[in-house]
Homo-oligomer: A and B are copies of this chain.
Amino acid sequence: MALARVQNFAISLDGYGTGEGQSADAHFGHAGDRLHQWMFATRWWDAGGSGGVDDAFVQQHDPGIGAEIMGAGKWGHPGWQDDADWKGAWGPNPPFHTPVFVLTHHTRAPIEMEGGTTFHFLDASPAEALAVAREAADGKDVRIGGGPTVVNEFLAAGLVDHLHVVVVPILLGRGVRLWDGLEGLEKDYRVEATSSPSNVTHVTFTRVAS
* In the bound complex, CA of A170 to CA of B205 (Å): 11
Sorting the interface of chain A by its residue count into under 10, 10 to 19, 20 to 34 or 35 or more gives: 20 to 34
Chain B residues whose C-beta falls within 8 Å of the C-beta of A193 in the assembled complex: 167, 169, 195-196, 199-201
The DSSP consensus for interface residues of chain A is loop
Interface 0/1 of A167-189, CB less than 8 Å to B: 10111111000011111111000
Chain B residues whose C-beta falls within 8 Å of the C-beta of A195 in the assembled complex: 193-195, 201
A15 within 8 A of B: yes
Which chain B residue has the least Cβ–Cβ distance from A203?
B169
A55 within 8 A of B: no
Tell me how many chains of this kind the complex includes. 2
Given the known interface contacts A173-B183, A181-B173, the answer about A201 and B199 at a Cβ–Cβ threshold of 8 Å is no
Given the known interface contacts A171-B185, A186-B169, the answer about A203 and B15 at a Cβ–Cβ threshold of 8 Å is no
Chain B residues whose C-beta falls within 8 Å of the C-beta of A138 in the assembled complex: none
A62 within 8 A of B: no
CB distance from A148 to the nearest CB of B (A): 12
CB distance from A75 to the nearest CB of B (A): 26
* In the bound complex, CA of A182 to CA of B195 (Å): 23
A13 within 8 A of B: yes
> Which of B184, B199, B201 is within 8 Å of A171, CB to CB?
B184
**Would A171 and B183 count as touching, CB distance under 8 A?**
yes
Apart from the given pairs A14-B182, A172-B183, 6 other A-B contacts in the complex at a CB distance below 8 Å: A14-B179, A15-B179, A167-B167, A171-B182, A173-B181, A194-B195
